[in-house]
Amino acid sequence: MPILEEQNLRFKFADTWQLFQLDEHPSYRKWIEKLDGTKAVDFLGLHKNNLYFIEIKDFRGYRIQNKSRLTDSELAVEFGQKVKDSIACIVGSYRNPVYTDFYRDYFQNLESGQAIKLVLWLEQEPPRDDYEKRRMQYSIQSNLYKQKLRWLGTNSHVLISNKENNLLPETAVSNLPHT
Averaged pLDDT of the chain: 86
Q: pLDDT by residue (tens digit) across 132-145?
A: 556 546 555 677 77
Q: pLDDT by residue (tens digit) across 93-151?
A: 999 999 999 999 999 999 998 889 999 999 887 666 666 556 546 555 677 777 778 87
Decide if pLDDT at 78 tops 60.
yes
pLDDT at position 136: 46
CB within 8 Å of 107: residues ≥ 6 apart: 90, 91, 94
Other Cβ atoms within 10 Å of 132 Cβ, number: 8
Is the CB of residue 125 less than 8 Å from the CB of residue 62?
A: no
pLDDT band at 56 (very low <50, low <70, confident <90, very high): very high
pTM score: 0.88
Q: What percent of the chain has pLDDT over 70?
A: 84
